[in-house]
Chain A
Amino acid sequence: MAKLVSLHNSIHQELRISPEKAEYHGAELNMVPVMLSEFLKLAVQFPIALTKNKETGKFACVAMLGFAEKENLFWQHSKLDTLYTPLHIFRQPFFLGRNDAEGHSVTDSDQQYVVCFDAESNSVVSEGGELLFTSAGEETPYLQKMKAVLAELLDGETRTHTFVETLLELGLLTSMQLDITFANGESQRVNGMYTIDEKKLNALSGDTVVRLHNEGYLAHIYAMVTSTGQIYSLIQKKNARLSAAALNV
């Protein structure tokens, strides 16, 4: 469980964060929420799809990292073997929170934000890593960079949400039917993933296509369509794992 603590230059002057260890937060994720601004970078390696939030039923964009629960096929030798690390993992262990009256930090509110970190994170180290503040109490370039990432996530959330609303309004989503049989004969059905309905996409009127283009969505939609091909590279990764496991028996 995460324990969020708001960041203070006096209290946390000695605090060290190891960016490599922050990747542990992604070790057991089979999917990670992603922002519209990342789509083009993600599409070269991950399937980008949508899934519903279990609590609200609302759609969110995600990059798929594995098939089974807790299966991250990019997690190799205690690190993420990716060309690009999704912002939601890269941002660890930092969060935006809001200081309420009692001084407890509360995340996910559009009030005044303060930067928090997860005090239980593996990335909090006593030696090495990155300092957050200089001895004069000023923010280090590392912290500045991480704050920029948090700002990008905050802004990206709204933009990504509007994008998803547009897809829904145009009826462009369809559920993904995935029945995968791996090299060892084991098969798996992947439920609850959604993607672009290519038939509907191709049938859009010229006006709608122009609208999507003007809103900057068209490239992202096609990035999603292309990225679904990455499912095959995920299957390959899984097969490689299964055969490695078989050899070790």
Chain B
Amino acid sequence: MSRKCRGRGMAASWYGIARTATIDRAGAWAELDDGGTAKIVTGVTEIGEGILTVLAQIAAEELGVRPEDVTIGDNDTARSPEAAHAGATRQTYMIGNSVALACRDARVRLDAEIADHWGVDSGSLKAFDGEIWAEETNLKMTMEEAVDICKKRGVVPVGSGSFTAHGTGLDPEDGSGSPWQAYVFGCQVAEVEVDIVTGEVQVLGIWAAHDVGRAINPRGVEGQIEGGVVQGLGQALMEDYKLEDGHTTTHGFAKYILPTSLDVPQINSILIEDPDPLSPLGAKGIGEPALVPTAPAIMNAIYDAIGVRITSLPATPEKILAGLVAKREQEGTRHHAAE
């Protein structure tokens, strides 16, 4: 065995989208505004995943404007419709769909006026990127003009949407129930190099394949996978909140070790789109599922590399070295017994 041993491991995973074993809900308001811009108000705040951009893309697509034309209101219990919480891999699914429904509702108002103005069937209207037109005609105008016409006819193009996900509670005796209406699945492969002298493990590559239903912003999805993988790697190899009789000994980043730029592997994301049939957008989610398979894939890779099975996270250098010693002793005993 040479000093640096490489190996590979994999792990699969599954996850439920939105709140568990309950009915989940989210509401949103939409308005096509002057200048062909748009206002969306819903109980959402960016927590880093890129939800504001995702919602602006959804609104732009549904309303026929540009994402940069969309303003998303603040999340304020006194000013915005309820969309519940920022967690449970629910924002794209729950709030994304409620925004889509609100935008469609606003478009119904706008389209009725424009169709009447042009004398065409409202079903023939299409809008994209700041323009609205009637199919199979030469009729076309900017969204700015369309909003103006709509308002001059006495109609403000507003809409609202509410989206529901139907989960059911679990039976208290046997746990049966349908906790989510949408599930995602994933699989990651990890390649590691273990230094059998220091016990240090480097993760060199991760191949992460995840079903997201529909990727609204593929680069944003990759960002979620990359962040999830590195949190998974931290838990796999170094992070450990330690307590002694209730007092922590890891009260700062000098003691509580986090992955840095030097620890991260190359992360190769593969997005799978198996659309959700129960929602208007077909998108599911990725925030949490991304990190589920990382730690076991890394443990399986460590085993592949050096034959040491780490069953207690994190796989610190000390545990790796102890595992190697135990393995050698075991092999020695076996060897001895055979003599």
Chain B binds chain A: no
Which residues of A are interface residues toward B (Cβ below 8 A)?
none
